[in-house]
Structure 1
Amino acid sequence: MADELKLIKKAQKGDVEAFEKIITEYQSIIYNIAFRFAGNAEDAADMSQEVFLKMFRNINSFQFKSKLSTWIYRVATNTCLDQVKRKNRNNPAYSLDDGFEDGDGSFFSNEIADDSPTPDEVIEQAEMKDVINQAISELPDDYRTVIILRDIQGLSYDEIAEIIECSVGTVKSRISRGRRNLREILSKDRELFDKYFV
């Protein structure tokens, strides 16, 4: 933690190398968040770059009142939400032909026990990830944000509350409603829902 504080202070004084070390430490987390908001690798990479730029421009706004990771999650989440809203305004229709590419730290990466899945299992796992990613992308922004932070990134209620600047009660309520909405979205395709989630 002391090393991180030194890096932040150096970055705030314009030390690019210190800032690059911070980016290196958090780039996979930022990309994973961006991927869940974007749904594909290309847009996630663009979102990640935008997050890095915002972090660089605003590193002096970090006041050491919270952990650096909390500040980074807040910047990443807000940037991704802004990008999604901008994209939705410019392109409100969703094409069912758009596929989802898999990224690092995928939703089910911790749940796949078999190190050598059969080809059928690989296809099923990819299909399941696509189903989940598509369902998450259909959630309202408030719900999508807390589901990504809690169920995918594994953050605590307190951490999420600090990141999105609301009460823990609000976080819990949004998570509950988000999960309910997710189940409803998934249950629309009864065959897939029964196959993977019953």
Structure 2
Amino acid sequence: MNGEVVQPAFRAIADDLAQSLRRYLERYVGDPAVAQDLSQETLMRINQGLPSFAGRSSIKTWAFSIANRVAADYLRHPDRRLHIVELDEVAEPIDPDRALDEKMMLGEMNECIRAVIDSLPDSYRAALILHDLEGLSAEQTAEICACSLATAKIRIHRARLRLKEALTKRCEFYRDQDNVFRCDRKA
């Protein structure tokens, strides 16, 4: 970290949260290389801020709030174009034996979802990713997004509604012969 003093507590925090923070940032900005850079920036800010950490929230919540600000600052730049990472790329690796047509269908579904999440306002996108994809509680989401619990719940709810409405307009959902959930784009 460029000659900065690294506190012993920081190493434990970094070991515990670095992967979760990077995954969140990757989902938020949609680019693994950028997410890695933002993750490093987040860890540097955590190290710098650790001496003044007052413990009013958990370390995890505090760290995610820093990551959230780092990502928001990055995306505010007018030259940045947001891309959301395919959900199956981060959640689980694709089985190499999966049929090509199944990969194409998953890609199309992820493309639809990515486009809709991309269109959400930053506050909704952050709440949705933190709560539904990262599995954080509504309380933790509220702390990270610097809003009240009620506001966080409203953002999560509205983001889900917008996601559902947009996907319903764009896609025809069905279950295939193996009872796997699928979608086809509407004409």
- Superposed pair shares fold, TM > 0.5: yes
Work out which of the residue numbers 26, 39, 56 in structure 1 matches 2:30: 39
Choose which of 149, 156, 173 in structure 1 pairs with 2:154: 173
Structure 1 or 2: larger strand share? Answer: 2
Of 61, 84, 89, which aligns to 2:75? 84
1:74, 1:178 → 2: CA distance? 19
Q: How does 1:101-140 map to 2 (within 5 A)?
A: 105-106=90-91, 109=92, 117-140=98-121
2:131 to 146, 150, 162: 150
Which whole-Å CA distance do the structure 2 matches of 1:22 and 1:78 have between them? 18
Deviation at 1:61, TM superposition (A): 2.5
| In structure 2, C-alpha distance between the alignment counterparts of 1:181 and 1:151, rounded to whole Å | 14
What SS is found at the alignment partner of 1:149? helix
| Partner Cα distance (1:53, 1:67) in 2 | 18
Percent identity among equivalent residues? 31
What CA distance in whole angstroms lies between the structure 2 residues aligned with 1:45 and 1:20?
Answer: 17
For structure 1, the 5+ residue unaligned runs are 1-13
Q: 1:100 to 1:168 in 2, by over 3 A?
A: closer
RMSD: 3.2
1:73 is matched with 64
Cα distance between partner residues in 1 of 2:122 and 2:51: 28
Q: Which residue of 2 aligns with 1:141?
A: 122
What is the number of residues matched between the two proteins?
Answer: 174
Bigger fraction of residues in helix: 1
Which TM-score applies when normalising by structure 2? 0.76
Partners of 2:80 and 2:21 in 1: how far apart?
A: 24
Which has the higher mean CA deviation after the structures are superposed, 42-51 or 17-26? 17-26
For 1:119 and 1:83, locate their aligned partners in 2 and report how far apart those are by CA, in whole Å: 35
Paired letter, 2:129: I
